[in-house]
């Protein structure tokens, strides 16, 4: 048998590729991670006692929207980084855009606040624990998404690990918003991204080891 005929035979006998399998894999990992993060938040921290009233405030939804926008951008980047041959280029701006908009809002709030109130708006009451709690709550999504990405073929494991970390941190932040009492844009536009940066740094550190194939 000629080589070309042998290759053709193998190609014809190969089962068809399910193009929807990666999407299902990512959806399952994200859903399980978010559900676990929410359960951990509710069991370990508890819902904020005034949640029924807080959900009627626009600032409550702005916080969640901020984290959700970062999460959507990170998911999109993770999907592209998981497949070889797809370029990212300037698409990293989609990750920075929500943060930049939030920082503009923070600058406006601080500019209009009395001088002696600016530090309180920035630090709130929970700045010492907020990033750490977000990083801890990101663990389920982080592990689940590493599993999902490992089943793909990432060729830039360090960058992909960082994107997974941002996605996990953003998912955890959405869950954390149901507990966090801080409503000032100066607070959450500063400390929420820092909490997301912790799993991102861990992902960049371990990516070459856990995502190689």
Q: Which of 121-125, 189-193, 209-213 has the lowest mean pLDDT?
A: 209-213
What does the pLDDT look like over 166-206, one tens digit per residue? 999 999 999 999 999 999 999 999 999 999 999 999 999 99
Dig out the tokens for 11 from the structure: 């190609």
Long-range CB pairs of 150-156, under 8 A, 24+ apart, other chains included: 150/210, 150/211, 150/213, 151/22, 151/25, 152/22, 152/82, 152/83, 153/82, 153/83, 153/84, 153/213, 154/81, 154/82, 154/83, 154/84, 154/211, 154/213, 155/84, 156/81
Report the percentage of the chain scoring pLDDT > 70.
88
Check pLDDT > 80 for residue 84: no
What confidence tier does 8 reach under pLDDT thresholds 50, 70, 90? low
Q: What average pLDDT score do residues 129-144 get?
A: 97
What does the pLDDT look like over 19-45, one tens digit per residue? 566 678 899 999 999 999 999 999 999
What confidence tier does 152 reach under pLDDT thresholds 50, 70, 90? confident
């Amino acid at each position: 048998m000629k080589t070309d005929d042998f290759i053709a035979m193998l190609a014809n006998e190969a089962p068809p590729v399910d193009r929807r399998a990666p999407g299902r894999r990512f959806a399952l990992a994200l859903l399980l991670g978010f559900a676990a993060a929410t359960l951990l938040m509710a069991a370990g921290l508890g819902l904020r006692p005034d949640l029924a009233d807080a959900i009627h405030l626009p600032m409550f939804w702005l916080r969640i929207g901020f984290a959700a926008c970062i999460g959507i951008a990170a998911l999109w980047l993770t999907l592209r980084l998981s497949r070889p041959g797809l370029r990212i280029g300037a698409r990293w701006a989609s990750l920075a855009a929500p943060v930049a908009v939030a920082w503009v809002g923070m600058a406006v709030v601080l500019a209009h606040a009395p001088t002696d109130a600016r530090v309180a708006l920035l630090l709130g009451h929970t700045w010492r624990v907020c990033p750490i709690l977000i990083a801890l709550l990101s663990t389920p999504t982080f592990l689940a998404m590493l599993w999902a990405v490992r089943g793909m073929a990432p060729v830039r494991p360090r960058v992909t690990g960082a994107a997974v970390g941002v996605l996990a941190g953003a998912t955890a932040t959405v869950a954390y918003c149901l507990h966090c009492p801080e409503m000032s844009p100066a607070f959450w536009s500063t400390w929420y991204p820092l909490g997301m940066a912790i799993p991102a740094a861990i992902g960049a550190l371990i990516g070459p080891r856990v995502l190689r194939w």
